[in-house]
């Protein structure tokens, strides 16, 4: 499976005075999608970190199409772009209940050793989970 969907409501604190989602919150929405995608694959950030691996974002791209507003039920669709090597790349679509696309996005993350802070190859146990 190379994609996942998760839905949730926009909270009041995520909006500006006009009730529109503040643009900086979309990075958090992408993180929710990415973490749930990994969790569904049987991979947890917590376990990766215990195993000495971290995944910092090295690239983030957002294309805004329409605003999300307070109390909207939004869905984040997360899709793996390709089999990871040293980097893992995801595409995202965020849409509302009417299936209107609000944001299209992309992130690239690098696998790093937590001790050396140097790039490493994607761990075999992750590649094995992706091959199903």
Query: Residue 20 maps to which CATH number?
Result: 3.10.129.10
At 31-90, the pLDDT tens digits run 999 999 999 999 998 999 999 999 999 999 999 999 999 999 999 999 999 999 999 999
pTM above 0.75, yes or no: yes
Provide the pLDDT for residue 1: 56
Angle at the Cα of 111 from the Cα atoms of 109 and 117, rounded to 5 degrees:
115
Instruction: Report the DSSP pairing between strands 87-95 and 3-9.
Output: unpaired
Nearest to 107 by CA among 23, 16, 33, 40: 33
* Residue 10 DSSP one-character state: P
Bridge-partner residues for 4, per DSSP?
78
* Residue 21 DSSP one-character state: B
Distance CA 98, CA 57 (A): 30
pLDDT band at 2 (very low <50, low <70, confident <90, very high): confident
Instruction: Report the DSSP pairing between strands 87-95 and 101-110.
Output: antiparallel
Q: In this model, does residue 17 exceed pLDDT 60?
A: yes
At 94-123, the pLDDT tens digits run 999 999 999 999 999 999 999 999 999 999
Q: In this model, does residue 124 exceed pLDDT 90?
A: yes
Distance CA 96, CA 43 (A): 27
Q: Report the number of distinct structural domains present in the chain.
A: 1
Range of 40's domain? Answer: 3-130
């Amino acid at each position: 499976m190379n994609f996942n969907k998760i839905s949730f409501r926009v909270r009041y604190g995520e909006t500006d005075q006009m009730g529109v989602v503040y643009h900086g919150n979309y990075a958090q929405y992408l993180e929710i999608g990415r973490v749930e995608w990994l969790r569904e694959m049987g991979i947890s950030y917590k376990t990766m970190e215990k195993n000495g691996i971290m995944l910092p974002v090295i690239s983030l791209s957002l294309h805004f199409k329409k605003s999300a507003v307070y109390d909207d039920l939004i869905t984040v669709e997360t899709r793996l772009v390709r089999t990871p090597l040293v980097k893992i790349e995801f595409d995202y679509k965020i849409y509302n209940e009417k299936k209107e696309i609000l944001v299209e996005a992309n992130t690239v993350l690098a696998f790093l050793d937590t001790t050396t802070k140097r790039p490493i190859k994607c761990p075999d146990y992750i590649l094995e989970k992706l091959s199903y």
